[in-house]
Structure 1
């Protein structure tokens, strides 16, 4: 790959020259590179998984960009050489992260982050037998990262299950055993 600087001939040329080299522009720079062809190797399991994940992310991006409000949101986050579609694919590709679960009396405090936005956090409280005692949605705190759920109580030997969901619907599930 070569970056072209001040060459009058290549300023207006784009495309492939005789199955040898490809000339294209990215972020205002002209790039000359060897023409790549399709791989002759059989894709690995990880490659197939990545392709499927990308196919799902691209489908989400196409669908979500039909909503003008979400399109404007993603466009506002786009940087140089990016657009709303790129940002929507990036968002769909990664799940939110549940960083911390704390207990304050009967309140569950969940710290959840996503590169874009965590849409909802659901809390389920189960007893020792696995029966759901209560469930509900947590409320976003003022800091934009902590989510609060006021429960009725925590059964001994039970567990608290936290489900964080982002805009594309990616879920991250974490559970804490109660002592």
Structure 2
């Protein structure tokens, strides 16, 4: 690959020259590179999975960009050489990550990381038998990373399941076992 500078003829040319060279522009620079052709190798299982995941992300991104508000949101995040479509695909490709679930006083604090907006965090409190005791939506704190759910009393031996969902609908899930409470004698 070569970046073309101060060449009047190649500054005006775009496309392929025979089956050897391709000339294109990216971020205001003219680039000349060897022309690539289709690969003769069969894709690996990981490559096929990545292609399927990317295809799903593209479909989600196209659906989200149909909403003018979301399109404006993604356009505001785009950097040089990027657009709303690039940002929407990136958001649809990556699910939010729940870093921690902690029991704090009478509630649960969930720490969620995502490069883009997290739409909601749902919390299910499940008892030792596997039945849902409480469920609800956590409220985002001012720092934009922590979400709080007021659970009241928690069943000993149960578990808390937190589900974070982003704008494209990707989910991140994390569970926390509720510790047994030791009785004082």
Please indicate the TM-score interval, normalised by the length of the shorter structure: over 0.9
CA distance in 1, matches of 2:49, 2:7: 42
- Any residues of structure 2 matched to 1:53-132 within 5 Å, and which? 53-132=53-132
2:162 is aligned to: 162
**2:101 aligned counterpart, secondary structure:** strand
Alignment correspondent of 1:13: 13
Residue deviations 1:8-65 (CA, integer Å, cap 9, x gap): 1101100000010000011111111010001101111111111111111111111111
What TM-score comes out, normalization by structure 1 length?
0.98
Aligned residue for 1:116, secondary structure, equals coil
Superposed CA deviations along residues 121-141 of structure 1, whole A, max 9, x for unmatched, are 000001111111011100111
The CA RMSD measured in Å over matched residues stands at 0.7
Question: What's 1:172 paired with?
Answer: 172
> After TM superposition, where is structure 1 displaced by more than 4 Å over at least 4 residues in a row?
none
Q: What is the SS of the residue equivalent to 1:39?
A: coil
Q: Whole-Å Cα distance in 2 between the matches of residues 126 and 57 of structure 1? A: 32
Separation in 2, partners of 1:110, 1:77: 25
Give the secondary-structure state (helix, strand or coil) at the position aligned to 1:56: helix
